[in-house]
Amino acid sequence: MQQVYTEDDLIRYIYNEVSTSERLLIENAMDNTPSLKVAYSQMVEVKSRMDNVKLNPNTTSVELILEHSIKTSSHLEASL
C-alpha cells in the first residue's frame, strides 16, 4: 500500500522536520506522483515569497506598546 502524503508532510519536509527515512520516502513519492510534486513546488514558491516580505509596524502602534511597557514597569517597580 502506498503512503498518502498531506500538505503537513510537505511542510515538514520543506522545513527539514522529517527523518532521513521520511525524507527519502517523500522524495520517492514526489518522483512518482506529479500532483504531489506540483503541490511541493507551489509551497516552496509561497515560502520563498513569505520569506521576502518585509513588515514594518505602524509607528503609533510601536509608541503605544512602549508607553504601556513603561507604565507597566513603573507599576512593577513601585510594588517591589
Confidence bin at 73 (pLDDT 50/70/90): confident
pLDDT tens-digit series, residues 5-50: 999 999 999 999 999 999 999 999 999 999 999 999 999 999 999 9
- Could you tell me the three cell numbers for 6? 498531506
Hunting for cell 500500500 — which residue is that? 1
Contact 18, 1 (CB under 8 A): no
Place 72 in a pLDDT band, splitting at 50, 70 and 90.
confident
Domain limits, the chain: 7-79
Residues 6+ apart with CB under 8 A from 10: 26, 36, 39, 40, 43
The whole-model pTM stands at 0.65
Torsion of CA 19, 21, 27, 28, to 10 degrees: -160
Contact by Cβ (8 Å): 38, 44: no
